[in-house]
Amino acid sequence: MIKNIVIGGTAGHGINTLSYFLVRILRDHGYYIHSMKDYMSRVRGGANFTQIRFGSKPIHSHDPKIDILMALNQEAIDLHSHRLRKGGFLICDSEAQTDYLNVIRIPIKEIGASNQNPRGISSIAVGAIVKALGLDKEDLRKISIPKWPEAMVEKNYKTALEAYNASTKVYEKIESVIKPDSDILYMSGNQAIALGAIAGGLDFYCAYPMAPSTGIMSTLSQFEKDAGILVEQAEDEIAAMNVVIGASATGARSMTGSSGGGLALMVEALGFAGIGEVPIVAVDVQRPGPATGLPTRTEQSDLSFVLNASQGEMPQMIISVKSVEDAFYQTARALNIAETYRLPVLILSDQYLADMSQSFEEPNLEDIKIIENEDTQKDLGQLYKMYDLSSSLTPRMFPGQSGSTLTFTDSHEHDEVGHITEDSELRTQMMHRRMGKLKLLKKDLQEPDYFGPNSAEIVLVGWGSMYGPLKDAVEHLNNHGHSVGALVFGDLFPLPEKKLRSYATTAKTLVNVEMNYTGQLARLIRMETGIEMNHSILKFDGRQLNFREIAEQVKELI
């Protein structure tokens, strides 16, 4: 059983608070949850909505078809009522205008006024939804936030209870499901990146706020004291990247984050990390550009940018996170890879995944190992060869680690110690040393996930947050008699090629599925392997491509 609820209204209607209460109630009944936000770049007004999909098994993506629409204003009815399934319910104000048959009308203004709670729209909505799902009115006791005073909690309970009693219909009575033995966590993609960084041994995070990446910094700041980390808000993105490089050069496991516009300001300093072989992690939570673009929407359009996000040539790794759970593990992994190979690691997320929340099994922290790349010699009595030409993977020694050993980190080309050089032969040797890391890194690459029959006639190819929609699209298409599989990449550069080459040989048709205009992964694949995609399914309007859209376009190709 999977059900889908959409709550639509404006900024100021308390949609986030409402979804918090509803998710809490559904989680207590044992359900897995996938929720997503769609919001405009304004403080008040606009057409915003949250979608909550829940069921007894893990849920991978959102569904445009909905079972219950909670419309907090007329605009929400006009925008979303066409998405209701046959037999679905619309819950709205008693004065709203609609021709939809299955309507539950609630006197929202009157209920708020009778309880002296005119801003309690979220409580009214929870009461109506809980009734529509056939749940007990005692669930309304969960409408509270820890910082609320008792009087406010009681007022909102009474408001919700009146809405519960005023609602006369039950859409479908849902039952509690048996919870799995392991603990189930629920968090957003940004929260997962932050907690994954802590699990991966993060010491220092510095950034400048930029939507939709800011949630990483705000989450880390909540755990700053307990986790023993330092979180610093810089005056701008240029400063943030330079501070992170300085912190890493002195031994702190360091990380920053921004969106594409912020990362654009960081790229000169990113080159410093490349030539200085300073291990750092930078998160790019993508949104549509160029320039300010659509600041609260989603896209996968920064791949080509980050592939060349510095002057000259340098070794780096690019990882895209595929789900909330994957974001946790890949962030910890990125910190280890940066430290092991002494290079920048870029993590690509996007607004959809950043603000999306999912249920997943609690991670086993014993599976996460913190890898150090530190020279344990305490006193070499000489200048330290930080860039020893005998190996691409020289361990690091930090300033002050040894009483008589000096260390140098420089943005110029340098010799083995770190002194500036313009010697042509030494430049060539240093380039071989740095770029040789990419060959060594290949042994740590993760192949893309594959869904579907091994002999699928059509193979869809995507990356990052397309994981959930592609997984659901493959299941949907195969259930309807088609032979379709999907390869979803997490590691993007260096590009893992084994599975790609195998399925490119056996499949009749390759289709790249991306959230950008130019098919940036397809271009990377062609550049690295010579493999051409036969077709493309592309979307770039700022809204996440869903599994039904993918399935319909695949059927058209067939």
pLDDT, residue 6, reads: 96
Kindly state whether residues 101 and 223 are assigned to the same domain: no
Q: Give 498-505 contacts, CB < 8 A, sequence gap 24+.
A: 498/447, 499/447, 499/448, 499/450, 500/448, 500/461, 500/525, 500/529, 500/531, 501/529, 501/531, 503/450, 503/456, 503/459, 504/459, 504/531
Indicate yes or no: pTM above 0.85: yes
Decide if 160 is inside a domain. yes
Q: Give 83-92 contacts, CB < 8 A, sequence gap 24+.
A: 83/6, 88/171, 89/132, 89/169, 89/171, 91/125, 91/128, 91/129, 91/132, 91/167
Kindly state whether residues 418 and 513 are assigned to the same domain: no
Kindly state whether residues 388 and 253 are assigned to the same domain: no
Written as six digits, the tokens of 175 are 């039952």
* Of 444, 466, 497, the domain-final residue: 444
pLDDT, residue 379, reads: 61
Kindly state whether residues 129 and 115 are assigned to the same domain: yes
CATH of the domain at 299: 3.40.50.970
CB atoms within 10 A of CB 99: 6
Kindly state whether residues 410 and 456 are assigned to the same domain: no
Decide if 274 is inside a domain. yes
Strand pairing category for 230-233 and 280-286: unpaired
CATH of the domain at 93: 3.40.920.10
pLDDT, residue 227, reads: 96
- Alpha carbon 359 to its chain's center: 14
Q: Where do we find the tokens 């051409």?
A: 532
Kindly state whether residues 152 and 52 are assigned to the same domain: yes
Kindly state whether residues 361 and 390 are assigned to the same domain: no
Written as six digits, the tokens of 296 are 């609260």
- Structure letter (DSSP) for residue 538: E
pLDDT, residue 181, reads: 67
Burial class (CB in 10 A: 0-12, 13-18, 19+), 480: exposed
Kindly state whether residues 378 and 359 are assigned to the same domain: no
pLDDT, residue 510, reads: 98
- Alpha carbon 535 to its chain's center: 27
Query: How many structural domains compose the chain?
Result: 4
Decide if 128 is inside a domain. yes
d(CA 50, CA 283): 25
Decide if 489 is inside a domain. yes
Decide if 177 is inside a domain. no
| Sign of the alpha-carbon torsion through 120, 121, 127, 133 | negative
The CA–CA distances, whole Å, from 37 to 42, 52, 199, 265 equal: 14, 9, 27, 28
From first to last of the 558 residues of the chain, give the pLDDT tens digit: 899 999 999 887 888 888 999 999 999 999 999 999 998 887 777 789 999 999 999 999 999 999 999 999 999 999 999 999 998 999 999 999 998 889 999 998 888 888 877 778 889 999 999 999 999 999 999 888 888 888 888 988 999 999 999 988 888 888 888 777 678 999 999 999 999 999 999 999 999 999 999 999 999 999 999 999 999 999 999 999 999 999 999 999 999 999 999 999 999 999 999 999 999 999 999 999 999 999 999 999 999 999 999 899 999 999 999 999 999 999 999 999 999 999 999 999 999 999 999 999 999 898 899 998 877 666 655 678 889 999 999 888 888 776 667 788 889 999 999 999 999 999 999 999 999 999 999 999 999 999 999 999 999 999 999 999 999 999 999 999 999 999 999 999 999 999 999 999 999 999 999 999 999 999 999 999 999 999 999 999 999 999 999 999 999 998
pLDDT, residue 115, reads: 81
* Of 348, 367, 386, the domain-final residue: 367
The CA–CA distances, whole Å, from 71 to 54, 349, 433 equal: 19, 30, 60
Decide if 412 is inside a domain. yes
Kindly state whether residues 276 and 289 are assigned to the same domain: yes
> 189-199 and 324-341 helices cross at what angle (nearest 10)?
40
| Strand positions, DSSP E, 117-229 | 184-188, 204-207
Decide if 182 is inside a domain. no
DSSP per residue over 411-430, as a string? Answer: SS-B-SSS-B---HHHHHHH
d(CA 209, CA 232): 11
Kindly state whether residues 65 and 97 are assigned to the same domain: yes
Strand pairing category for 449-451 and 484-489: antiparallel
Decide if 271 is inside a domain. yes
Is 299:288 a contact under the CB 8 Å cutoff?
yes
DSSP per residue over 96-144, as a string? Answer: -----SSEEEE-HHHHHHHTT-TTTHHHHHHHHHHHHTT--GGGGGG--
* Of 367, 399, 433, the domain-final residue: 367
- What is the domain extent for residue 320? 188-367
Kindly state whether residues 121 and 94 are assigned to the same domain: yes
Kindly state whether residues 417 and 402 are assigned to the same domain: yes
Q: Give 151-159 contacts, CB < 8 A, sequence gap 24+.
A: 155/115, 155/116, 155/117, 155/120, 156/117, 156/120, 156/123, 157/123, 158/115, 158/117, 159/111, 159/112, 159/115, 159/117, 159/120, 159/123, 159/124, 159/127
d(CA 517, CA 519): 6
